[in-house]
Amino acid sequence: MTSKRSAPIDMSAEEFRILGHRLIDQIAEFLIALPGKPVTPSEDPTHLKALVGTDNSLPKRGTDPGKLLERSAELIFGHSLFNGHPRFWGYITASPTPIGMLGDLLAAAANPNVGSWKLGPVATEIESQTIRWIAELIGYPTDCGGVLVSGGNMANFVGFLAARRAKADWNIRESGVSADGAKKLVVYTSAETHTWVQKAADLFGLGTASVRWISTDEQKRMDTNALQKQIDADLAAGMLPIMVIGTAGTVSTGAVDPLYDLARICRKYNLWFHVDGAYGGFAARVPGVPSDLAGLELADSVAVDPHKWLYAPLEVGCALVRNPVYMTDAFSYHPPYYHFDSSVTNFVDYGMQNSRGFRALKVWLALQQVGLDGYIQMIGEDIRLAELLYQCVGEQSELERFTQGLSITTFRFVPAELQSRTGQSETEQYLNKLNEEVMLALERTGEAFVSHAIINGAFVLRVCIVNFRTSEKDIRTFPALICRIGSTVDRELRQSSLNSR
């Protein structure tokens, strides 16, 4: 009788070593080649479907793992959009840390289930320490509760659910939002807040109509007078305001809400104060940032996103709650089939997941590789480069600057002959179309990648630098590239409009 089962998915240590070394070599070569590759190959879905063979049925028999890894490396390194490229500046997605890539491999090797201490003892302690260090990095009390989740949406959901449980004056977990005699719960946030708020209001039973979208000032910061008026009106109408959501770095322009004022208003009305710091939270202690950012220290809960400005490989978000009891109050159940030691941390009690992976490791490693000073330096440099871009854009007569906040700079291409006519509806319509086409044409060149924002009705190019690989040269050469593309696209658009007459 043999003591070793032969399972087709298993691999000998020797084979694992050979394949693993080969893969690590390929990744290292990829990292060397990355700056010279197109940011995205801009291939169409039909081509990619054919390459992947999406219509093939599940293979009945197995394939040699070496061949599979070769093919996967070819597919992925040859046909991906690379957010690790020095000139990837779209949305808010970071270049991934090399140590994080290795950390994910190591985490998968041990594969702890970090739902409970018992199933992931050292992983639980590492996650707890990572959470404390994240709190320290952003200036939040380090005795807070916290949990790592898949991203910013989920981290914000944790704060939302903790607030819902804490501020509903009935047992909402048992009786739900529509309990007998329950008042209608309402939440407040600025019109610039990320769409997670809609999802949360929808998914957690309040309904999207319960979100009060408060207007913003010229800098896109929540108008606190409008906020108070709305709270007063809702109270007078018999509703139950539960929380105010401030944003520390809005997704479109990097605006920071007046967090200290919001904290004061929350105290006055006894509301939960949640801060969405998914983007900007990690900049809170960087010299020169808006002073309001530090106001997140007063929040009842904060969401930050290590896969944004800690440059962790996807996925990892982090929810922090000032008083940990509000987390267990919102999430904990003790079914008979789990007998976990209550004197240690069991993350299953702190969030929505049951089984949980070891996403802390990649963050924990990076935090130690560079320390607090390293992160302050890198984030500060991203912001400096975004400011430099704003300055360089200002030196090009055919570019119009819009906003600069944290590491986000927005602007648009305006051909010389249209500059005296901006603001007129026909010109604005044309400029919106032109700039959208410029963005897409840039993408097709593979030279750089940006996304867009809509600012007061204008379609603008939006550069967001959460990228430790971006250099000053990348930034200084970018405005001229946009002008070149802009002129070509403008010519083509005019020509095609003449042809269609």
Contact 302, 296 (CB under 8 A): yes
Find the shortest distance in angstroms from Cβ 276 to ligand PLP: 5
Task: Give the whole-angstrom CA distance, residue 464 versus residue 406.
Answer: 9
Among all residues, whose Cβ is closest to ligand PLP? 152
Q: Smaller CB distance to ligand PLP: residue 247 or 409? A: 247
Find the shortest distance in angstroms from Cβ 161 to ligand PLP: 15
Find the shortest distance in angstroms from Cβ 194 to ligand PLP: 4
Task: Give the whole-angstrom CA distance, residue 347 versus residue 274.
Answer: 21
Q: Smaller CB distance to ligand PLP: residue 276 or 292? A: 276
DSSP 94-148: PPPPHHHHHHHHHHHHH---TTSTTTSHHHHHHHHHHHHHHHHHHT--TTSEEEE
Contact 362, 316 (CB under 8 A): yes
Find the shortest distance in angstroms from Cβ 404 to ligand PLP: 17
Number of other residues whose CB lies within 10 A of the CB of residue 95? 20
Q: Smaller CB distance to ligand PLP: residue 130 or 153? A: 153
Number of other residues whose CB lies within 10 A of the CB of residue 340? 16
Q: DSSP H helical segments within 316-358, as ranges? A: 325-331
Find the shortest distance in angstroms from Cβ 279 to ligand PLP: 4
Find the shortest distance in angstroms from Cβ 35 to ligand PLP: 25
Contact 196, 153 (CB under 8 A): yes
Residue 186 in tokens: 């309402």
Task: Give the whole-angstrom CA distance, residue 393 versus residue 493.
Answer: 23
Q: Smaller CB distance to ligand PLP: residue 116 or 247? A: 247
Task: Give the whole-angstrom CA distance, residue 93 versus residue 89.
Answer: 8
Find the shortest distance in angstroms from Cβ 420 to ligand PLP: 36
Q: Smaller CB distance to ligand PLP: residue 88 or 279? A: 279
Q: Smaller CB distance to ligand PLP: residue 95 or 153? A: 153
Q: Which residues sit at the interface with ligand PLP, rule CB under 6 A?
A: 92, 151-153, 156, 194, 196, 247, 251, 276, 278-279, 305, 317
Residue 75 in tokens: 């597919």
Q: Smaller CB distance to ligand PLP: residue 168 or 314? A: 314
